[in-house]
């Protein structure tokens, strides 16, 4: 028994793994059969009838999403019979669709638009009034439903069932009065609810967060990793002119499949809050040169006895940033480093995508410190005896809570952070760093998987990637770190950490203009 089957689609032979459906087999040939209800991450229901194809020796047209490939099967997707069937099906779907494109949030990334434009492109033949249903139905804390636009594909119902495991949406009524609605006594309030917006092929479900803020086709997509927790969901940052407008999940079969949680989606808001755009010396804006010289002068006093210097790595920052700082600490002669991060939230863990650790890179930072032979202490609270010897502290990130405010003010505190909060307020010298979305680098999730983030846009003001700030600080204190690109930090890092030996640096991703991405949906 072989594990593959070979079939013929439109005269082209294709070999696929056993169990693949015809639709996926055709897609592997670049033949995009139109479909609404089929989603590779959801159970197949074959209810939109949009993917009908003819299969030889089969009297009726078959939905290609449900039809499993058989050996020697001969499929026609471009024959007159199935083409006509699909065209007519689209005509039916469009029959009661409102003329909402100019005000619809989905316009530009709408599957209905895409399929009509690619597969039908015929004029309307009917002139009867459309059936009207409810618009602007508030179905949950994050979602608004427009029943008129719904084409009844049931993707959202299945998403709630499968991803969140909660049955919160249902169909009601029959015929052309059939509508999508919430299940009795339910609200669409599961922690994965916005995935229904992503899978919605039309603009029926829209996220309140993104609604009426930005036209989808004007955005550009840059692949990255969600900063919200240790799962490290693969995402795309959708941004325009240096500002992120939403985060959407990116397919990764080993991490997050097609999904991500609502909380993770909102992390982009923080990118514009309390940003530090200029170096600060004693709380006053300064140039980079002055700030770095000042910091080096303060640190220089203690460099003879490095035990007076505390170094805090950050579970919020990338591997490269942490590696640069750990390397610097080692060169200074520091024996152990602290690791700061947001405190865990045990209630979050649900056995699906959400985990208790709300830092994206705890395991990465730990692995780096260990590989460099530095002791790691979780720095939620530094004990008093250790704190009493500290004279200077170099902190990466803004989540350090290990010392009291009084103590922080007392010592020479130098921070490298994207945000002006937490310990940064008490810093003698604060260096501005790029936030996660502005940074090219890698993070390591709870599984130990090292994943690549790409810089979506430039950091504000004088901020630079944290590893680069650390290199400048190192030079000022007389330590030579010769990196000029995150790629070089990565190269040295993978050489130092045994488990990461095989990793290679992927080519920088270029922002993808969504309007020219062949329309998604």
Partner 1 sequence: MATESLKQLVLGRKDVQDLSDTETDLPPDLMTVNMGPSHPAMHGTVRIVLTVDGERIVKSDVQPGYLHRCFEKESEHATYTQVFPYTDRLNYVSPMINNVGWAMAVEKIMGLTPQIPKRVEYIRVIVSEMSRLTDHLTCVGASAMELGAFTAFLYFLKAREWLYELLEVVSGARLTHSYVRVGGVAKDLPEHFHTELTTCLDKIAGVMVEVEVMLNNNKIFRDRMAGVGAMTKEDAIATGCVGPIARACGVDYDVRRDHPYSVYPEVEFDVPLGTHGDCYDRYLVRIEEMKQSIRILRQCLRQIPAGPTMVDDPRVALPPKRDTYNTIESMIRHFKHIMDGIRVPPGEAYTFVEGGNGEVGFFIVADGTGRPYKAYCRSPSFVHLSTSSQLIHNHLIADVVPIFGMINMIGGECDK
Partner 2 sequence: MAKQILDALAAKFAHAVERTESNFGDEVAWIKRENLVEVAKWLRDEQGFAFPVFCTCIDRLDWKPIGLPPSEHWNESKPRFEIAYQLRSLKNQRIRLKVAVTEADPRVQSLAELWPAFNWQERETFDMYGIRFDGHPDLRRIYLYEEFVGYPLRKDYPKEKRQPLVRRDDLILNPLKKEVR
Binding site for partner 2 (CB under 8 A): 28-32, 507-508, 510-511, 518
Looking at beta carbons only, is 120 or 412 nearer to partner 1?
A: 120
- Which member of 87, 135, 257, 515 binds partner 1 (CB under 8 A)? 515
Looking at beta carbons only, is 249 or 511 nearer to partner 2?
A: 511
Decide if residue 113 touches partner 1 (CB under 8 A): yes
Of 428, 431, 469, 471, whose CA–CA distance to 297 is shortest?
428
Looking at beta carbons only, is 151 or 395 nearer to partner 1?
A: 151
Looking at beta carbons only, is 310 or 459 nearer to partner 2?
A: 459
Of 248, 266, 264, whose CA–CA distance to 106 is shortest?
248
CA 390 – CA 144 distance, rounded (Å): 53
31 binds, among partner 1, partner 2, none (CB under 5 to 8 A by kind): partner 2
Q: Which of residues 116-145 bind partner 1 (CB under 8 A)?
A: 116-118, 120-124
Looking at beta carbons only, is 376 or 509 nearer to partner 1?
A: 509
Decide if residue 241 touches partner 1 (CB under 8 A): no
Cross-strand partners of 169: 182
Beta carbon of residue 129, minimum distance to partner 1 (angstroms, whole number) = 12
Cα-Cα-Cα-Cα dihedral sign, residues 248, 253, 256, 257? positive
For 207-213, the CB contacts below 8 A with 24+ separation are 207/142, 207/143, 207/246, 207/265, 208/141, 208/142, 208/143, 208/144, 209/142, 209/246, 209/265, 209/266, 210/105, 210/245, 210/246, 211/105, 211/144, 212/105, 213/245
- Which member of 40, 41, 98, 285 binds partner 1 (CB under 8 A)? 98
Decide if residue 92 touches partner 1 (CB under 8 A): no
- Which member of 43, 80, 102, 184 binds partner 1 (CB under 8 A)? 102
Q: Token pair of 146, please?
A: 């427009």
Half-sphere exposure of 305 (CA within 13 A, CB side): 5
CA 62 – CA 55 distance, rounded (Å): 7
Looking at beta carbons only, is 147 or 363 nearer to partner 1?
A: 147
28 binds, among partner 1, partner 2, none (CB under 5 to 8 A by kind): partner 2
Rounded-to-5 percentages of helix, strand, coil across the chain: 30, 20, 50
Q: Token pair of 10, please?
A: 């439109």
Sheet harboring 512-513: ordered strands across?
Answer: 243-249, 234-240, 220-225, 512-513
Beta carbon of residue 16, minimum distance to partner 2 (angstroms, whole number) = 12
Beta carbon of residue 90, minimum distance to partner 1 (angstroms, whole number) = 9
Interface size with partner 1, residues (CB under 8 A): 25
- What does the binding site for partner 1 look like in residue numbers (CB under 8 A)? 94, 97-99, 101-102, 107-108, 112-113, 116-118, 120-124, 217, 513, 515-519
């Amino acid at each position: 028994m072989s594990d593959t089957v070979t079939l013929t689609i439109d005269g082209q032979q294709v070999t696929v793994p056993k169990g693949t459906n015809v639709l996926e087999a055709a897609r592997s040939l670049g033949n995009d059969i139109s479909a609404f209800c089929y989603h590779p991450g959801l159970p197949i229901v074959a209810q939109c009838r949009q993917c009908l194809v003819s299969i030889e020796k089969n009297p009726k047209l078959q939905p290609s999403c449900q039809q499993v490939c058989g050996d020697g099967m001969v499929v026609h997707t471009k024959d007159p019979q199935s083409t006509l069937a699909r065209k007519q099906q689209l005509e039916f779907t469009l029959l009661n669709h409102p003329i909402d494109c100019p005000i619809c949030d989905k316009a530009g990334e709408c599957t209905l638009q895409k399929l009509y434009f690619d597969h039908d492109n015929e004029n309307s033949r009917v002139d009867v009034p459309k059936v009207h249903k409810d618009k602007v139905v508030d179905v949950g804390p994050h979602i608004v439903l427009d029943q008129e636009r719904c084409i009844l594909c049931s993707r959202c119902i299945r998403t709630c069932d499968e991803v969140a495991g909660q049955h919160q949406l249902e169909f009601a009524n029959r015929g052309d009065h059939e509508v999508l609605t919430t299940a009795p006594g339910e609200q669409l309030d599961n922690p994965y609810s916005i995935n229904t917006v992503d899978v919605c092929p039309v603009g029926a479900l829209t996220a309140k967060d993104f609604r009426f803020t930005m036209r989808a086709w004007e955005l550009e997509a840059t692949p990255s990793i969600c900063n919200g927790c240790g799962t490290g969901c693969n995402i795309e940052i959708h941004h325009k002119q240096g500002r992120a407008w939403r985060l959407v999940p990116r397919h990764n079969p080993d991490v997050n499949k097609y999904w991500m949680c609502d909380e993770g989606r909102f992390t982009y808001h923080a990118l514009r809050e309390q940003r530090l755009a200029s170096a600060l010396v004693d709380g006053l804006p300064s140039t980079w040169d002055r700030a770095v010289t000042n910091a080096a002068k303060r640190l220089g006093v203690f460099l003879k006895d490095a035990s007076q210097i505390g170094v805090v790595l950050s579970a919020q920052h990338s591997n490269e940033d942490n590696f640069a700082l750990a390397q610097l600490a080692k060169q200074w002669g520091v024996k152990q480093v602290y690791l700061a991060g947001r405190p865990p939230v045990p209630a979050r863990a649900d056995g699906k995508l959400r985990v208790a650790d709300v830092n994206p890179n705890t395991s990465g930072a730990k692995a780096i410190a260990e590989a460099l032979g530095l002791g790691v202490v979780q720095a939620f609270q530094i004990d008093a005896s250790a704190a009493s010897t500290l004279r200077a502290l170099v902190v990466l990130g803004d989540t350090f809570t290990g010392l009291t405010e009084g103590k922080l003010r007392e010592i020479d505190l130098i921070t490298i952070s994207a945000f002006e909060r937490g310990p940064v307020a008490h810093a003698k010298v604060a260096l501005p760093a790029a936030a996660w979305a502005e940074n090219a680098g890698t993070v390591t999730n709870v599984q130990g998987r090292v994943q690549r983030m790409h810089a979506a846009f430039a950091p504000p003001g004088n901020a630079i990637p944290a590893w680069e700030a650390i290199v400048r600080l190192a030079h000022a204190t007389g330590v030579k770190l010769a990196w000029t690109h995150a790629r070089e930090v990565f190269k040295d890092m993978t050489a130092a950490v045994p488990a990461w030996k095989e990793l290679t640096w992927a080519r920088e991703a270029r922002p993808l203009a969504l309007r020219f991405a062949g329309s998604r949906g």
